């Protein structure tokens, strides 16, 4: 009996420590893409509830619904695409970082195409499609939209500086905003998008 008590006394703290280490490592793995993109200091401040810029991280704001014309014809409405993670990029041809970033947006659209549950949407605030098509060709995999009056980009989302990229989850909730240019085909960015896919898939299984 004494030997059993000794074993339990030793094993219980070890088990507690081991379980805590596993939980902590999983949390760190989930946080890794955010920390890599935002930096530790800004990530910690966002987790503490600090708003403002740069960037946004949360799960309490629903994306405003909108409808805009699509490149090649037709209209695209955000709420019609519930069930998909939306990577929403705001840009303009007068923004050099936007133009430098756009090939990575195009590559992201190519990478995620087989996934089926993520859509890459680029909203231009330029005057017409002729300006847009100096950068985004008609055969693009990107869903290319035009907001010439900036009613959506400025009015609904409050964006003033470009590029700005939002990630909206499958339920239409804004989860992440990145202010500035980024290589969206980078593995870290892909891991971030996968995290929101995984959250949806896990919720569906429950």
Segment 97-144, tens digit of pLDDT: 999 999 999 999 999 999 999 999 999 999 999 999 999 999 999 999
CA–CA distance, 198 with 76 (Å, rounded to integer): 25
pLDDT at 22 (0 to 100): 41
| Residue owning tokens 């593995």 | 187
pLDDT for the residue 49:
87
Q: Strand pairing of 75-77 and 85-91?
A: unpaired
- The tens-digit pLDDT sequence of the chain (206 residues) is 666 656 556 655 555 554 444 445 565 678 999 999 999 999 999 988 888 899 999 999 999 999 999 999 999 999 999 999 999 999 999 999 999 999 999 999 999 999 999 999 999 999 999 999 999 999 999 999 999 999 999 999 999 999 999 999 999 999 999 999 999 999 999 999 999 987 655 555 44
For 20, the enclosing helix (H) or strand (E) is helix 2-38
Q: What share of the chain in percent tops pLDDT 70? A: 83
DSSP class of residue 123?
E
Residue 124: its H or E element: strand 118-124
Q: What are phi and psi of 21, to 5 degrees?
A: -65, -40
Dihedral angle over CA of 197, 202, 204, 206, nearest 10? -170
User: What's the pLDDT score for residue 203?
Assistant: 53
Element (H, E) at 131: helix 129-132
Helix axes 2-38, 187-205, angle to 10 degrees: 120
d(CA 5, CA 75): 71
**Predicted local confidence at residue 9, as pLDDT:** 63
161 backbone dihedrals φ, ψ, rounded to 5°: -115, 145
Report the pLDDT value the prediction gives residue 19, as an integer from 0 to 100.
46
């Amino acid at each position: 009996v004494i030997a059993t008590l000794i074993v339990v006394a030793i094993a219980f703290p070890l088990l507690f420590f081991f379980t805590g280490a596993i939980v902590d490592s999983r949390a760190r793995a989930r946080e890794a893409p955010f920390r890599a993109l935002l930096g530790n200091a800004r990530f910690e401040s966002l987790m503490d509830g600090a708003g403002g810029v740069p960037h946004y991280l949360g799960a309490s704001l629903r994306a405003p619904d909108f409808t805009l014309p699509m490149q090649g014809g037709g209209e695209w409405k955000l709420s019609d695409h519930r069930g998909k993670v939306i990577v929403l990029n705001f840009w303009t041809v007068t923004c050099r970082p936007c133009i430098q970033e756009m090939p990575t947006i195009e590559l992201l659209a190519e990478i995620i195409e087989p996934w089926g549950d993520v859509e890459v949407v680029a909203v231009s605030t330029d005057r017409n499609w002729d300006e847009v098509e100096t950068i985004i060709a008609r055969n693009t995999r990107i869903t290319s939209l035009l907001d010439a009056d900036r009613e959506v980009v400025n009015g609904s989302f409050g964006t003033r500086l470009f590029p700005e990229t939002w990630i909206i989850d499958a339920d239409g909730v804004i989860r992440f905003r990145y202010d500035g240019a980024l290589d969206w085909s980078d593995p870290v960015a892909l891991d971030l998008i996968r995290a929101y896919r995984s959250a949806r898939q896990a919720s569906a299984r429950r």
